[in-house]
Amino acid sequence: MSTQPIIRVRDVAFPRLQVPDLDQMESFLMDFGMVRAERRSDVLYMRSAGTAPYVHVTHQGEPAFLGFAFSVGSRADLDSLAASPGFTPVEAIDAPGGGWKTSTVDTVGHVVEAVFGFEPVTPLSDLSPRPLNMGETFQRIGATQRIKSGPSRIKRFGHLAMNVPDPVAALAWYHARFGLIASDRVNLAPGMPVAIFTRCDKGAEPADHHSILFASNMSSGGVSGLNHLSWEVCDIDDVQAGREHLAAKGRSHEWGVGRHLLGSQVFDYWRDPWGHIHEHWTDGDQFDASAPTGDHSIDMGAVSQWGPNMPSSFGRTIPPIPRSKSA
């Protein structure tokens, strides 16, 4: 991208969903590995085992994807955004952990927040990966490996995927405001991307391979909106143990376990009672800003290196609530 963005965000922070039954959503998210941070009459905040005050927000109402938040590096970043066309003034956040925010609406209709100043919370558990004896490296000598049954240990909100009319235009909009850059493009023909994996530009500091995947809405019948939301867990055992716990609870499995090709992460996808896809993942790629963008043909092969084939239902999209779009 040749233009300089207004700011460069640090990460994604949380999504906002809307469902008619907060009790059912809380039950699903507890099975998924989250814990209630705060519950109000019309909104539910759920946290991970990490230090963020919450990593998932659900509002009461008809099923919808409302939007999501980026975390930024300073209050000055918020002020820069708020002074730009299409953004709201900076305001205090009325939610666990406090902080400040400004927001805008993207070209599809999602509310995009930028947040700063959360008060961190105490971790709920040890988030270290389990020691492994693999290859020529032996981390566990004179000790056994025992995996407790139960939900996954969720560390953080990791990324989201959205179906959009034009992935190139979507990235241009997000780059101009938030500094996202392309990690990999999947092309229908040379120079015609149908999917772009984008990451935060943190300079020399590594960032996740993707914070947002922009995919063409051709795969969703021309409907734009949310494809899936994703949370990082501590290790591969958390993926598998979490899978078994969700299955035992009768939850709706979508796809996995497998290892993706672009991003490399081990994944497992589940649907909440209203069809929103929630992913567990671990062991994803990390790149600093100097890593070049990869270009791949759409016929490059499987979207996973191992695991089951992607089901046709995976392209189903949860559209945003209609609202005015930002310029």
What single string gives the DSSP state of each residue in 84-137?
A: STTPPPPEE--STT--EEEEEE-SSS-EEEEEE-PPP---SS--PPPP-EETTE
Domain definitions of the chain by residue range: 11-120+154-315
Q: Which of 187, 168, 175, 166 is nearest to 294 (CA)?
A: 187
Cα 137 from Cα 277, distance rounded (Å):
36
Fold classification of 11-120+154-315 (topology level): 2,3-Dihydroxybiphenyl 1,2-Dioxygenase; domain 1 (3.10.180)
The pLDDT profile of the chain, 327 residues, written as one tens digit per residue, is 558 999 999 999 999 999 999 999 999 999 999 999 999 999 999 999 999 999 999 999 999 999 999 999 999 999 999 999 999 999 999 999 999 999 999 999 999 999 999 999 999 998 999 999 999 999 999 999 999 999 999 999 999 999 999 999 999 999 999 999 999 999 998 889 999 999 999 999 999 999 999 999 877 778 899 999 999 999 999 999 999 999 999 999 999 999 999 999 999 999 999 999 999 999 999 999 999 999 999 887 668 999 999 998 887 777 677 665 554
CA 177 to each of CA 174, 190, 195, 323: distance values in angstroms, whole numbers, following the listed order: 5, 27, 20, 19
pTM of the model: 0.94
Helices 22-32/236-248 angle, 10° precision? 140
Q: Are 229 and 268 in contact (CB under 8 A)?
A: no
